[in-house]
Amino acid sequence: MQAQVRPVAAAPTRVRHKVVWATLAMIAIAYLDRVCISIAAPSIKSELGLSDTQMGLVFSAFTLSYALFEVPSGWFADRFGARVALTRIVAWWSAMTAATGLASGFASLFAVRLLFGIGEAGAFPASARVYARWQPARLRGRLFGVLIMAAALAGAITQPLVVALVSRVGWRQTFAIFGALGFVWAASWWLWFRDDPRDHRGVNPSELALISEGGVETAEPDTVPWRALAQSRALVALCAMYFGAIYGWYFYLTWLPTYLLRARGFDLGQVGWLAALPLLAIALGVYLGGWVCDRLTPSFGLRVAARTPALFGLPLAACAVIGAAEVPDPFHAALLLAAAAGLAGLGIAPAWALCLEIGGPHAGVVTGAMNMFGNLGGTLSPIVVGLCIDRLGSWSAPLYSIAVLYGVAALCWLAIDPAQRICAAPVARPT
């Protein structure tokens, strides 16, 4: 008898990996543009004659409009796909980055930063849609960790880079240089990416099967269940948690270089590197948080796995911020702030993975809602710092406010349950 020969399946193609690299590049460019203003702030403030309160409002203009347009932009990504959404987002924010260098005073700078936030809103929710379509469920915690890690690393690299560019060409030309990068990415994304892996010519059946492991969102979303969203205890808790966590994050993105210059006495060259430390720590923290979440899920379920990194990191982060406010040595204060940033970052990636679990086909809206409240916290943070400096002459008060909100964020995690889904998930996962 002749033995039956089974055909050998072709090895999976690797387009899904290229998709991840493309989103990492996009987020890195976003943070190059977003963080640039924090290092350039002393030069901008001096040339345009801005007060600390006005500079705080400029910082918050971006985060306010970014926050308010997160849900509409998340809905747009759900409805029309990440291909068109991310092309529009990156082209818009790149134009506004370049336009920042044209500002002539407070009003024009404030207006440009508002438009910048409107344009960039939706970048993370649209990336969530990409991962929901293109990546197996078992990797999503780590992938969100890597995505946010890329953002933080880009922000860290930006600090000394902007110091060098501002010293050589000035802050206006620096914004023009960074703005040009996004247009190249937007054109490349539009030409290459497809919302459905089945529509991409480079994807073979083996890769499609691999992508579908553990459940992958392929259905088109129906009418958004707004009432269910508003009444979801898990989503409300996620939004409140993210408000507290990102409130602290935006201190590192906005006022930290000025704090190190004025409150701790470092020179500009030292600030470029010391201000990068918290962002490097965030990069490590978000990756570790996502990795721990994915490792613990098979044994303990997603509920325990997602909570563990945050409930460990946030209380310790609060203690580190208090230590930074009280320690007399400037270098020790900088190190404690970096440690706080990294510890608080442990819960970030699990939160994004939970949004996919809770939201199902409405993941863009759910991630947009969480990120909206996070960035409302980010909007409040620079304003509080500016007011405390102008009215109280204090840098300690805003640091204590960060510690308090880290504690509140930790408590919120106790109310977050991935089993409370707004829509049924395509394939059930352990909870």
Higher-scoring residue by pLDDT: 310, 366: 310
pLDDT in tens, 17-37: 899 899 988 988 887 777 778
Q: For residue 31, what pLDDT is reported?
A: 77
Tell me how far apart the terminal alpha carbons of the chain are, to the nearest angstrom: 50
Q: For residue 428, what pLDDT is reported?
A: 38
Task: Tell me if 362 sits within 8 A of 129, measured CB to CB.
Answer: no
142-155 average pLDDT score: 77
Q: For residue 217, what pLDDT is reported?
A: 52
Could you tell me the pLDDT band of residue 222, with boundaries at 50, 70 and 90? low
- Top mean pLDDT of 160-164, 202-206, 307-311, 361-365 is at 307-311
Which residues have C-beta within 8 Å of that of residue 425, sequence separation ≥ 6? 215, 357, 360
Q: For residue 149, what pLDDT is reported?
A: 80
Q: For residue 385, what pLDDT is reported?
A: 86
Could you tell me the pLDDT band of residue 110, with boundaries at 50, 70 and 90? very high
Per-residue pLDDT at 376 exceeds 80:
yes
Q: For residue 86, what pLDDT is reported?
A: 93
Q: Of 167-171, 246-250, 270-274, 360-364, give the lowest mean pLDDT range.
A: 360-364
Per-residue pLDDT at 338 exceeds 50:
yes
- What tokens were used for 354? 């939970």
Higher-scoring residue by pLDDT: 321, 70: 321
Q: For residue 336, what pLDDT is reported?
A: 94
Q: For residue 55, what pLDDT is reported?
A: 83
Angle at 380 between CA 374 and CA 386, to 5 degrees: 145
Q: Of 26-35, 75-84, 342-351, 374-383, give the lowest mean pLDDT range.
A: 26-35
Could you tell me the pLDDT band of residue 423, with boundaries at 50, 70 and 90? low
Q: For residue 28, what pLDDT is reported?
A: 83
Which residues have C-beta within 8 Å of that of residue 126, sequence separation ≥ 6? 73, 74, 77, 82, 85, 86, 89, 364
Exposure of 156 in the CB half-sphere (CA atoms within 13 A): 19
Q: For residue 250, what pLDDT is reported?
A: 85
Per-residue pLDDT at 7 exceeds 60:
no
Where do we find the tokens 């030292």?
270
Q: For residue 140, what pLDDT is reported?
A: 65
Q: Is the dihedral of CA 60, 66, 71, 74 positive or negative?
A: negative
Q: For residue 5, what pLDDT is reported?
A: 46
Per-residue pLDDT at 399 exceeds 90:
yes
- What tokens were used for 383? 């304003």
Q: For residue 421, what pLDDT is reported?
A: 72
Mean pLDDT of the chain: 83
Contacts for 200-205 with beta carbons within 8 Å, 24 or more apart? 200/15, 202/13, 202/15, 203/13, 203/15, 203/16, 204/10, 204/12, 204/13, 205/9, 205/10
Per-residue pLDDT at 95 exceeds 80:
yes
Q: Of 6-15, 161-170, 209-218, 287-296, give the lowest mean pLDDT range.
A: 209-218
pLDDT in tens, 120-132: 888 888 887 888 7
Rounded to the nearest angstrom, the gap between the alpha carbon of residue 279 and the centroid of all alpha carbons in its chain is 12
Per-residue pLDDT at 426 exceeds 60:
no
Per-residue pLDDT at 142 exceeds 80:
no
307-336 average pLDDT score: 92
Q: How far, in Å, CA of 35 to CA of 253, rounded?
A: 6
Of all residues in the chain, the percent with pLDDT exceeding 70 is 91
131-154 average pLDDT score: 77
